[in-house]
Structure 1
Amino acid sequence: MAQEVPATASAASAKVPMDSIAAVLRRERGRAGLSLTEVARRAGVAKSTLSQLESGNGNPSLETLWALCVTLDVPPSRLLDPPRPRVQVIRADEGVTLASAQADYQAAMLSASPPGARRDIYRLSAEPGAVRASDPHMPGVVEHVLLASGRARVGLAAEPVELRPGDYVAYPGDLPHLFEALEPSTRAVLISEHN
């Protein structure tokens, strides 16, 4: 059976959105036409654990939520990804983080793929100097940047944010935007999402 574990993420990490998780679990269990007992059995979790989670209580481990998602045939992002503002910044020590019950391992979801979206992934290398200014892309494009090393100003041209290693930002790619390395050997991952 999957175990519950104490949260070991940084104090700055976002709290697991238990109200949202509870609502999605109840809705998806009802959609699947399964009883609490049957979902718990199939997922390999205690019925009392599932009952607590559906009530908005508890501190689920990564394994518990994963097992429930597999049983209910829903992506984990549906449980963890609340509605987001147009521009979103997640610092390296922030974000909804789940800890494993089996290893010293944590997973923080930064962004869920919307239904029907296509994502292109790029590895970026940049040096200080000229700013990489981008004209607007096609309507609906969203860009996601995760800074791996160095320091950079990234995002909408009118209001870029400074990122440090581990920081994440998402912004509309259909508006003027930029990437400016502030330190040598700045590296990042860019994901361009097309709906």
Structure 2
Amino acid sequence: MTESVPPREIIGAALRRERARSGLSLSEIARRANVSKSTLSQLESGSGNPSLETLWALCVALDIPFAGLLGEPRPRVQVIRAGEGPAVPSSQADYSAALLSASPPTARRDVYSISAEPGGRRLSDPHQSGVVEHVVLGTGRALVGLVDEPVELRPGDYISYPGDLAHVFEALEPGTRAVLISERT
């Protein structure tokens, strides 16, 4: 059984991570959020007891959504194997749906049907900054993902990876088919 991490520690880790991402100093974030530097330091160490208002002000100063302080950071590469995603069954039929990726409100997505055969790698140069690609393999087997770390997928497997880095799709079996979603934020 895994122990749950106290919310203060999750918030502290998120504040440290987001401050490092922003490139701003502790003093600058505290100034922008109108909180004391010592308060921010305590929160980052996981020892503070913040109010909702303080956390909201820090989110504004860091330019992140409130959920960014409570959730895990989005992984750079995510793989969901067939049958492993959290599925919700229908009461009307033998049918279930699993949410693989929620769309941000400002995202634009293109959906492609991919047909590939063994014998060659489809190497893609990086796309525009912020592009993320999502692939669900329907049939066959394929190596998919970042050029230097592709993942072997089997039918029903899902992968997402930054499309603004060089990536690859290589069919390993005849009749390999997939759905690819290219998302631009």
TM-score by length of 1: 0.57
Deviation at 1:102, TM superposition (A): 3.3
Which residue pairs with 2:167 in the alignment?
A: 177
Which residue pairs with 1:159 in the alignment?
A: 149
Partner residue of 1:147 out of 128, 137, 145? 137
Deviation at 1:82, TM superposition (A): 7.3
Q: How many angstroms apart in 1 are the aligned matches of 2:88 and 2:73? A: 19
Partner residue of 1:187 out of 172, 177, 180? 177
Deviation at 1:101, TM superposition (A): 2.9
**What letter is aligned with 1:164?**
R
Matches within 5 A, 1:43-192: 84-192=74-182
Deviation at 1:83, TM superposition (A): 5.3
Identity of aligned residues (%): 72
Alpha-carbon RMSD across the aligned residues, in angstroms, is 1.5
Query: Helix, strand or coil: the match of 1:98?
Result: strand
TM-score by length of 2: 0.60
Structure 2: runs of 5+ lacking an equivalent: 1-70
**What letter is aligned with 1:177?**
H
Distance 1:191 1:150, change over 3 A: same
Q: How many angstroms apart in 2 are the aligned matches of 1:145 and 1:161? A: 11
Query: Helix, strand or coil: the match of 1:128?
Result: coil
| Rg comparison, structure with higher value | 2
Q: How many angstroms apart in 1 are the aligned matches of 2:177 and 2:72? A: 28
